[in-house]
Amino acid sequence: MKENIATVRREFETDIQQAKSVQAIENLHVKYLGKKGPIQQMMKVLREVTPEERPEVGKWINDLKVEFTNRLDSTLQTLLHQEENAKLLEEKIDVTLPGRRRFIGRKHILTHVMDEVIDILIGMGFSVQYGPDIDSDYYNYEALNFPPDHPARDMQDTFYINANVLLRTHTSNIQARVMEQNKPPIRIIAPGKVYRNEAISARSHVFFHQVEALYINKGVTFADLLKALDIFLNKLFGFEIEKRYRPSYFPFVEPGLEVDIRCLVCAGHGCPICKHTGWLEVAGAGMVHPEVLKNGDIDPEEYSGYAWGLGIDRLVMIKYHIPDIRVFTQNDLRFLSQFPSA
Ligand code: DAH
């Protein structure tokens, strides 16, 4: 038995020297202390030993068991410790490293300016109304005094969905709707997208943004329109920007005009953005046509009003010196992230 113990101990010694992982120690535990292991084997043999020798031999076996258990335990602890140290070393955090910047989203520059415009006009007493992008021919054209065969319809190439339904070509489609549903005084703005079937180029796109304004009350005059435009544009640019009002024709206003501002890109000297005129058109405007008031159930003998439609995209291009309208929809973060984030 003694010899047997010595052999097992030697074998155990070799094994434990080679055990370099927690798993290996567990395997040794099974191999030496498990049911089929040598210690259990010896316990069986113990039954055959004479009663006199039994206590001594029993003690040898028991000592061996305690010895193996202790050795396995302490080796396991050492290995666990080593593994943890290795892991910690690997995961070491260098607190002096600069932090990684988190990407923070922001408003698109068009939304940003649109919100600015809305804020200013709310400050001037207008309230906000939204109209549908997909609308009927009636609200986009007919109610605005464009009869079906009116040549002015050619001014705007329309995306028709069917003979009667279309993508609105201007935010003026809100006018008749608001008049039908409200009694004057009416003082509203309608921001939104508009669509035109045009060739995409640096200056024009198939969709862009407008903010419509409509004010109807007793005794509204052309002077009120000019003053409101003046105040609004100065507030938007933050200084007294030079303006020019040109007579123009829109079927839904009389008189009608176009609003130009001094080209900020070339300070009026002439550049490709202003087509070398020194001026940029930013809005159409006018006094609401009596027929349009009638279509909205408003008596033109009693009330008058003004309206304008401001193009936002062109305005942003001027304000931020952007030479190509297409960059707004290309989603290039290098472009988008240059603008104010608020
Ligand atoms: N709806 C016109 C357009 O898109 C712009 C416009 C002109 C709007 C005159 C108006 C207006 O409200 O009075 O070209």
How far does Cα 31 stand from its chain's mean position? Answer: 62
**Is 251:285 a contact under the CB 8 Å cutoff?**
no
Distance from residue 43's CA to the centre of ligand 1 (Å): 104
Q: Alpha-carbon distance 272 to 200, whole Å?
A: 17
Look at residue 213 and give its three-state secondary structure.
strand
Ligand 1 neighbour 172 (Cβ under 6 A): yes
Is residue 324 in a domain? yes
| Domain end among 42, 59, 90 | 90
Q: Alpha-carbon distance 159 to 166, whole Å?
A: 6
Ligand 1 neighbour 308 (Cβ under 6 A): yes
Is residue 341 in a domain? no
pLDDT digits (tens, 9 = 90+) for 116-141: 999 999 999 999 999 999 999 999 99
Distance from residue 114's CA to the centre of ligand 1 (Å): 17
Residues 148 and 279 in one domain: yes
Distance from residue 11's CA to the centre of ligand 1 (Å): 98
pLDDT-derived band at 342, boundaries 50, 70, 90: low
Percent over 90 (pLDDT), the chain = 54
Ligand 1 neighbour 166 (Cβ under 6 A): no
The mean per-residue pLDDT over the stretch 300-312 comes to: 97
The mean per-residue pLDDT over the stretch 225-237 comes to: 96
**pLDDT reported for residue 266:** 84
Distances (CA, A) of 91 to 17, 87, 100, 170: 29, 6, 17, 60
For ligand 1, atom 7, which residue shows the shortest CA distance?
284
Is the pLDDT reported for residue 304 higher than 90?
A: yes
Distance from residue 310's CA to the centre of ligand 1 (Å): 8
Residues 15 and 59 in one domain: yes
The mean per-residue pLDDT over the stretch 271-294 comes to: 92
Residues 80 and 124 in one domain: no
Residues 158 and 81 in one domain: no
Is the pLDDT reported for residue 154 higher than 80?
A: no
Distances (CA, A) of 6 to 33, 128, 185, 333: 16, 96, 110, 76
Distance from residue 309's CA to the centre of ligand 1 (Å): 4
pLDDT digits (tens, 9 = 90+) for 164-222: 999 999 999 999 999 999 999 999 999 999 999 989 988 889 999 999 999 999 999 99
pLDDT digits (tens, 9 = 90+) for 32-49: 888 888 888 888 888 888
What value does the mean pLDDT of the chain take? 90
Q: Please give the residue that has the higher pLDDT: either 264 or 277.
A: 277
**pLDDT reported for residue 282:** 92
Ligand 1 neighbour 64 (Cβ under 6 A): no
Residues 156 and 240 in one domain: yes
**Closest ligand 1 atom number to CA of residue 210:** 4
Structure tokens at 130: 């939204």
Burial label for 290, CB within 10 Å (0-12, 13-18, 19+), is middle
Is residue 103 in a domain? no
Number of domains in the chain: 2
**Closest ligand 1 atom number to CA of residue 194:** 4
**pLDDT reported for residue 313:** 94
Percent over 70 (pLDDT), the chain = 98
pLDDT digits (tens, 9 = 90+) for 89-113: 888 888 888 888 887 788 999 999 9
Residues 115 and 10 in one domain: no
Q: Alpha-carbon distance 267 to 273, whole Å?
A: 11
Is residue 104 in a domain? no
Ligand 1 neighbour 68 (Cβ under 6 A): no
Is residue 149 in a domain? yes
Is residue 102 in a domain? no
**pLDDT reported for residue 141:** 94
Residues 119 and 33 in one domain: no
Q: Alpha-carbon distance 109 to 319, whole Å?
A: 11
Is the pLDDT reported for residue 303 higher than 90?
A: yes
For ligand 1, atom 13, which residue shows the shortest CA distance?
285
CATH number, domain containing residue 232: 3.30.930.10
Residues 48 and 119 in one domain: no
Residues 18 and 164 in one domain: no
Residues 86 and 136 in one domain: no
Domain that holds residue 26: 2-90
**pLDDT reported for residue 289:** 98
| Domain end among 90, 117, 142 | 90
**pLDDT reported for residue 341:** 67
Distance from residue 51's CA to the centre of ligand 1 (Å): 117
**pLDDT reported for residue 156:** 64
**pLDDT reported for residue 32:** 85
| Domain end among 57, 90, 123 | 90
**pLDDT reported for residue 279:** 92
Is residue 78 in a domain? yes
pLDDT digits (tens, 9 = 90+) for 6-30: 888 888 888 888 888 888 888 888 8
Distance from residue 265's CA to the centre of ligand 1 (Å): 25
Distance from residue 311's CA to the centre of ligand 1 (Å): 9
Buried b (16+ CB within 10 A) or exposed e, 73-101: eebbeebeeeeeeeeeeeeeeeeeeeeee
**Closest ligand 1 atom number to CA of residue 156:** 14
Distance from residue 322's CA to the centre of ligand 1 (Å): 24
Residues 131 and 270 in one domain: yes
**Which of 254, 252, 231, 255 is CA-nearest to residue 243?**
231
Residues 310 and 212 in one domain: yes
Is residue 235 in a domain? yes
- Ligand 1 pocket check: which of 170, 205, 211, 304 to mutate, most ligand atoms within 8 Å of Cβ? 170
Structure tokens at 35: 């049911």
